[in-house]
């Protein structure tokens, strides 16, 4: 398996993975298309893990100066618990750090324990809460940050 930059033709497989991940952000077509907006390519990042044309997971992020936000991550149901999410986060760390990032932030549903364990295992620290941030169902968001000045676990 390899991790590479996503391209626009990956969108159908990315959408399929999102359907397998109801706790991930459920994007619309415009959200996916914005990943490949050529007017601001350096501000958005999408990486996929694939082998022989089959996608096993993806991660997306955006940068604003030295601050990055992990926007979305999804792993195929049959490929979970195989460290694919951790590898994708690790690759995002490398990319962000190579571009001068000081930190990466994210929010996650409070009930999404698998994602929270992943983020904590990658060195993210819980930094706050947004009450009733999510809908369908209504739920708090837990905020996490990773600082590149702190040692990674």
Residues annotated as catalytic are 107, 119
Which residue in the block uniquely carries the two structure tokens 């149901």? 77
Tokens of 9: 């033709």
Phi, psi of 81 (to 5 degrees): 65, 30
| Cβ neighbourhood burial of 9 (10 Å; 0-12, 13-18, 19+) | exposed
* Nearest Cα to Cα of residue 143 among 110, 109, 117, 107: 107
């Amino acid at each position: 398996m390899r991790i590479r930059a996503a391209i626009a033709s990956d969108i159908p497989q990315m959408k399929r993975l999102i359907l397998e991940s109801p706790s991930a952000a459920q994007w619309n077509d415009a959200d996916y298309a914005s990943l490949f907006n050529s007017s601001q390519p350096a501000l958005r990042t999408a990486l996929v893990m694939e082998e022989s044309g089959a996608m096993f997971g993806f991660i997306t992020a955006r940068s604003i100066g030295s601050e990055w936000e992990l926007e979305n991550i999804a792993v195929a149901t049959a490929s979970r618990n195989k460290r694919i999410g951790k590898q994708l986060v690790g690759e995002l760390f490398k990319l962000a750090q190579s571009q001068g990032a000081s930190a990466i932030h994210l929010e996650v549903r409070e009930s999404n324990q698998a994602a929270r364990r992943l983020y904590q295992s990658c060195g993210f620290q819980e930094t706050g809460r947004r009450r009733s941030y999510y809908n369908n169902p209504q739920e708090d968001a837990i905020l996490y940050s990773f600082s590149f000045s702190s040692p990674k676990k």
